[in-house]
Structure 1
Amino acid sequence: MSLINAVYRLYNRRLLTELDLSSEDPFPFQEATFRYLTSRGAGTVFGEKYKMGEIRDIETFRQRIPLHDYNSLEPYIQNILKGAQNVLWDRPVSWFALSSGTSSSRSKFIPMNMENLQFCHYKGMLTILSSYVRTFPSSRLFRGKSLTLGGNRHIDKSVDTNCCYGDLSAFLLINTPLIARTFTTPPKKTGLIPDFEYKVEQVSKLIARQNLVSFSGVPSWNLILMRKVLEQTGKRNLHELWPHMELFMHGGVNFEPYRVHYKALFPSPGMHYLETYNASEGFFAFQTDLNDPGLQLLPNVSVFYEFIPLEKLQAAENGTFTDFLTMADVETNKPYAMVISTNSGLWRYLIGDTVRFTQLYPHKIRIIGRTKLFINTFGEELMIENAERALSRTCDLTGTSVHEYTVAPVFMDTRRKGAHQWLIEFETMPQDLKTFTEILDKELMQVNSDYEAKRLHTGTMDPPRIEPMKKGCFYRWMALNDKLGGQSKVPRLWNNRDYVEDLLGINESL
């Protein structure tokens, strides 16, 4: 082990101790987090409304404080945006991370503060690095630069209230501790460029001259950057340029469709891919074992977790079901909607992600979809996990690769059955689109029995309809909707045809 790795592990040994203890029993950490959050929230406008100061146990917390989503918290957030304080949290809040708006056409203003950055976002990242260095003691992670490619929303400031809002990545960048800046790139001035395409151009020129050892972010945006560097340098692959590149920490979308592209860019067997689960709302989990796709949930990052069995979600949203589960109550292989309470003032907040526990002690999850992003037009209940698995398997069987895709229903009428329309921008086109469609249909039936029933037994659905899209179509759609970079991503499944019709129109114009 190198001296710098040994010093880093020594400095952060408490994080590794907490990680190990929480693997054995996460709930003491969750109980401590619960007490910390409720004591701090008691004197706020929100806390006084629900008499949070009288809450002594989780059961009372469940009964007294209702489930919230962004719409129900928005009046409080708007008051903070106007300059009010002590509304959702008892410390000044003047930063707001703009969410990517995957499930909504509008951005959400997620409140943030220095406590939230320090004890959630930064702590989560430090825990990842500590765990990684322990797993790979010969890592060269601290002998070069680590890249984070931010989004296209720089930080704006309200003249009247001094409130600032922008991408989470921008807040993380401007608050990066001085010692960490030695190991990170790009510098603040470049990282905060609002024009994403111009930023990619500038960052690509910069990192081509640096000793890059790791990078992090959403696979789709980083792929654009890495291909730009390859084009500019004329290298056969990027390990020729960065021989010590060893780690890509990715999140936001399923990595499997991108894995083949990254393996071509970074062919060395020493290249590692580590999935994280972080969002504007917090840093929640990461992959502790690179051979296990499960993400270990972090119980000690100032987030109190609750879980709603997916079949109870509608009842929970209308207030008739309140017995949400804690980490002590969950079971493996059951779908749950995740609910969080955080030190940024999000209380019993339905974050919108659906998860499944793959194991307990340590508690590991897979993100299987969004509570709003699924297709259930014909009773087929197709979730993102089903679509991703079926598409990945189909690509493997047909020697095909996919760059981007989205799926929407084709509604039945008097002349035709219903169906799913897949808009796919292929990286490698299938030799026979009909065969590709047939295999995809079979794979979907294999991973989803409800889909199989609607396809074969009820006569309500025809096979999928595949629409190959022109190169750059999805990128153009993202640009037109101000969703370039950061945590923005293409919605994979949608119950209406709004996105699909827009994309088809763009495709015709290319």
Structure 2
Amino acid sequence: MPSIKSVLAKPFAKLVAKSINKWANNPIETQEKVFQNLISEAASTVFGQDHDFISINTYQDFKKRVPIRDYEDLKPYVERVVDGEANILWKGKPIYFAKTSGTTSGAKYIPITKESMPTHIKAARNAILMYVAETGNTRFIDGKMIFLQGSPILEKKNGIELGRLSGIVAHYVPNYLQKNRMPSWETNCIEDWETKVDAIVKETLPENMTVISGIPSWVQMYFERIVAKTGKKVGEVFKNFDLFIFGGVNYEPYKSKFENLIGRQVDSIELYPASEGFFAFQDKQNEKGMLLQLDSGIFYEFVKADEFFNETPTRIPLKDVEVGVNYVMIISTTAGLWGYNIGDTVQFTSIKPYHVIVSGRIKHFISAFGEHVIGKEVEQALKDGLEGTQVAVNEFTVAPQITPEEGLPYHEWFIEFEKEPEDMQEFIKKIDRSLQQQNSYYLDLIEGKILQPLKITMVKKNGFQEHMKSLGKLGGQNKLPRLSNDRSIANNLITLALTK
């Protein structure tokens, strides 16, 4: 018999869906409201005074006064916030710092304020409620739900708590879900990822698991341990497993492996959360893209990715974006991030309403020869290569080989296969052909005999996990870059390659 929770979920989901559709169908007005609120609320902050917020009335005014910045550029302000000063980037002090790994700056401290924190929680909740509103499925509500995340143990820095975003969010699980939530607090606090996964497997095996959530690469590790321990598919072990919620990376490269591990079809919801904000979630089961969150205290701007490194790239607001163009996403938020480049690139799949896919990272690309290949292109090329085959891939990344021992330079693909191709050369041709069709610069370089077609280096089983472990980045929110413009990752993976 369904519980009161699952019975009440449907009418509540309909109310929430109605509210979401209201702002989604009035996107420009919604963003204008957010913009005006941000400027007025932050006018008296140090940043607001430094950038003359009091005289900003329009988006054009804002662009003139506030340049695009990344974390390094904003760091002088952030450091003052970290040192305990108030009213620097946003009124008062943050309630948390989300600590993330920086590439050039060591640890990054992203402020989370009392205004921005609820938007993270609300968006995650709304993603599930929109699924309920669309499908009518509430069966999963009465079962156990697991969220593979970082440790919820928080440190303090000048009186402000700090930790990984997923660990901070763990403190906000609503009371009505506490009994359903797994793993236990003690298990969630285990720092070593492999020890933690083993503990999670032990805890969850006897339970009625209905929802499983996390970054695909780490959920895959959990699923593999379950299959190894039981000798059964995940869908057989958890007969009522109904819903997979994921985010952080593109699911497509993992899809066939997951279907094999689960052994049956399961609905899924894609999320787009980050320490800087919860930007989008999938609101339709059969449509591509995630609904951009326009009423969450985030004002969005966009710059075409291929113009981004120009001296004066053109910044545009939401109303001027086009479907299918690769944009760098720039945000200003109630956490005090202003004209902030989070490093992600997105493409719009629709503008009525505004749906996006994450196409890659502006720093994660290959342009060693002027080809500017992006993450979405290599993921699509791999998908095309896998089509119509029995080949299964666990993980992959791509790097340039600029100085090969012989022959022309090339793109080197490091792939950990679950099932290898019977005809490797044909597999390589399919991938390379797809990449040439998607990227005209790459095509020109191949045809002009500047590059030779890609080569594949096979990585041993669990090699990518070993690589991440060697960096101290196994599990949690850590993700392997799909692309790099140098050999730093490649040189480590060479030591984990299969010799054939």
Structure 2 residue aligned with 1:168, among 165, 169, 176?
Answer: 165
- Superposed displacement of residue 254, structure 1: 1.5
- 2:18 corresponds in structure 1 to 17
Match of 1:125, SS? helix
Cα distance in 2 for partners of 1:9, 1:29 equals 26
Match of 1:407, SS? strand
Residues 124 and 374 (structure 1), Cα distance of their counterparts in 2 relative to 1, 3 Å cut: same
Match of 2:400, SS? strand
Cα distance in 1 for partners of 2:88, 2:105 equals 26
Whether the 8 Å CA contact 1:2–1:137 is kept in 2: the answer is: no
Match of 1:334, SS? coil
Cα distance in 2 for partners of 1:437, 1:236 equals 33
- Superposed displacement of residue 249, structure 1: 1.1
- Superposed displacement of residue 2, structure 1: 7.4
Q: Are residues 1:262 and 2:258 paired?
A: yes
Residues 236 and 439 (structure 1), Cα distance of their counterparts in 2 relative to 1, 3 Å cut: same
Structure 2 unaligned segments of length 5 or more: list them.
none
Whether the 8 Å CA contact 1:307–1:339 is kept in 2: the answer is: yes
Structure 1 residue aligned with 2:212, among 211, 215, 240?
Answer: 215
After the TM superposition, which of the residue ranges 44-53 and 439-448 deviates more from structure 2?
A: 439-448
Cα distance in 1 for partners of 2:491, 2:392 equals 24
Deviations 1:207-266 (A, max 9, x none): 11222111211101011112212333x252222222221111111112112112221233
Match of 2:9, SS? helix
- 2:397 corresponds in structure 1 to 406
Residues 267 and 377 (structure 1), Cα distance of their counterparts in 2 relative to 1, 3 Å cut: same
Whether the 8 Å CA contact 2:94–2:111 is kept in 1: the answer is: yes
Cα distance in 2 for partners of 1:327, 1:133 equals 28
Instruction: State how 1:21-420 maps to structure 2 within 5 Å.
Output: 21-101=22-102, 106-118=106-118, 120-151=119-150, 154-158=153-157, 161-232=158-229, 234-269=230-265, 271-315=266-310, 318=311, 320-321=312-313, 323-412=314-403, 416-420=407-411
- 1:462 corresponds in structure 2 to 452
Residues 479 and 414 (structure 1), Cα distance of their counterparts in 2 relative to 1, 3 Å cut: closer
Deviations 1:373-404 (A, max 9, x none): 11111122211111001111112244211111
Cα distance in 1 for partners of 2:144, 2:29 equals 37
Matched pairs, number: 498
Whether the 8 Å CA contact 2:375–2:482 is kept in 1: the answer is: yes
Cα distance in 2 for partners of 1:331, 1:63 equals 23
Deviations 1:19-42 (A, max 9, x none): 212332212211121122112211
> Scaled by the length of structure 2, what TM-score is found?
0.94
- Superposed displacement of residue 55, structure 1: 1.8
- Superposed displacement of residue 451, structure 1: 1.2
Cα distance in 2 for partners of 1:62, 1:100 equals 29
- Superposed displacement of residue 412, structure 1: 4.8
Whether the 8 Å CA contact 2:394–2:418 is kept in 1: the answer is: yes
Residues 105 and 448 (structure 1), Cα distance of their counterparts in 2 relative to 1, 3 Å cut: farther
Match of 2:451, SS? coil
Structure 1 unaligned segments of length 5 or more: list them.
none
Cα distance in 2 for partners of 1:163, 1:2 equals 39
Whether the 8 Å CA contact 2:13–2:130 is kept in 1: the answer is: no
Cα distance in 2 for partners of 1:418, 1:168 equals 40
After the TM superposition, which of the residue ranges 169-178 and 147-156 deviates more from structure 2?
A: 147-156
Identity of aligned residues (%): 33
After the TM superposition, which of the residue ranges 333-342 and 88-97 deviates more from structure 2?
A: 88-97
Greater RCO between the two (CA within 8 Å, min separation 6)? 1
Cα distance in 2 for partners of 1:272, 1:258 equals 15
Aligned-residue CA RMSD (Å) = 2.2
After the TM superposition, which of the residue ranges 499-508 and 63-72 deviates more from structure 2?
A: 499-508
> Scaled by the length of structure 1, what TM-score is found?
0.92
2:306 partner amino acid: E
Cα distance in 1 for partners of 2:84, 2:90 equals 14
Cα distance in 2 for partners of 1:268, 1:104 equals 43
Structure 1 residue aligned with 2:469, among 472, 476, 479?
Answer: 479
- Superposed displacement of residue 165, structure 1: 2.4
Whether the 8 Å CA contact 1:174–1:188 is kept in 2: the answer is: no
Match of 1:114, SS? coil
